[in-house]
Structure 1
């Protein structure tokens, strides 16, 4: 059922705004939980048995505190960057004006999102390379992170940001001709 005065696009954007807030808060909680668990494990090695949702890095910590710190740092970076993406999405959605949709602010935010997605892709590649290195040396077996989607998304969001920039130029030209 349609809300009076609200277009379907406005409703979809409102739902996406709320979902983005939920994802942002969830990823912040996850990042904070990993950071807190890591902090506790600095003083109590037993805490590395259940770092986050049953993930046990106790054997890795016992093998090498440096390797353990590297893995946890990559996990924090991965989760934190994903939270930052949703923060940028929230900012972009709050700045969208359907009567004048193409703004340089939104275009810049979209471009920034694409760069952060490349960062997430790079962190995932580093993590996967490290887990391969650990596996070859039979130190610990960790799951790999998917990387393909982040690189593809970064490219698509970058293209959309460039379309938005061109839209800003066209809007400015149209305003000058009126």
Structure 2
């Protein structure tokens, strides 16, 4: 019951933040579905190889699976890792919006969550770079790989996002220090 009361109180006092939280929840659920579908169909394709023709939204890795199963497993693992990191980043955003209080916005918990989002964004960018390099390596070796721009695009954007959020985390950390000094002074 206490959680429902907190939600009601937050909704009444900070409706804008709660509306953003609902949008982030919907994106998070979509990313979880994508990661789960990739994971399920990838595992299922090991037992029924024809499933690899349409892993998720037309992703066809059947040719790679027929040529070399271990490269297939490695590539699919990288794709699942990217999807999971993206979902986790939105989960952290949800936690921030449920934790933050606009009356006293600077808190250690929110600062730590912002730092963790920066770290996850950088990890996502690096994993996308590794996946793209792996794809180029496989194509160079003559493996049948379709275009995968929807799955491996945006590495630079995630690295930039991580750097920007890291800078915001530093500012937020300083805000926590100033807010605690002001509370001690008063």
Question: What TM-score, normalized by structure 2, do the two folds share?
Answer: 0.88
Question: Which structure 2 residue ranges, 5 or more long, are not aligned?
Answer: 1-10
> Per-residue displacement from partner, 1:62-100 (whole Å, max 9, x unpaired)?
010011001110110000000000110000110110110
Aligned mates of 2:121, 2:144 — CA distance in 1: 28
> Per-residue displacement from partner, 1:115-149 (whole Å, max 9, x unpaired)?
11111011101110011112212212332422111
Please tell me whether residue 173 in structure 1 is matched to residue 178 in structure 2: no
Question: What TM-score, normalized by structure 1, do the two folds share?
Answer: 0.92
Which of 96, 116, 120 lines up with 2:120 in the alignment?
A: 116
Alignment of 1:30-49 (within 5 A): 30-49=34-53
Which of 32, 42, 60 lines up with 2:64 in the alignment?
A: 60
> Per-residue displacement from partner, 1:40-64 (whole Å, max 9, x unpaired)?
1111111111111111100000010
Please tell me whether residue 14 in structure 1 is matched to residue 22 in structure 2: no
Aligned mates of 1:11, 1:72 — CA distance in 2: 40
Aligned mates of 1:109, 1:70 — CA distance in 2: 30
- Between 1:104-113 and 1:144-153, the stretch displaced more is 144-153
Which of 136, 139, 148 lines up with 2:156 in the alignment?
A: 148
Number of aligned pairs? Answer: 172
Which of 137, 140, 143 lines up with 1:136 in the alignment?
A: 140
Aligned mates of 2:180, 2:148 — CA distance in 1: 50
Aligned mates of 1:60, 1:12 — CA distance in 2: 47
Task: After TM superposition, give the deviation of residue 11 of structure 1 in Å.
Answer: 3.3
**Whose helix proportion is higher, 1 or 2?**
2
Aligned mates of 1:70, 1:16 — CA distance in 2: 36
RMSD: 1.4
Structure 1 segments of 4 or more deviating over 4 A? none
Question: Which structure 1 residue ranges, 5 or more long, are not aligned?
Answer: none
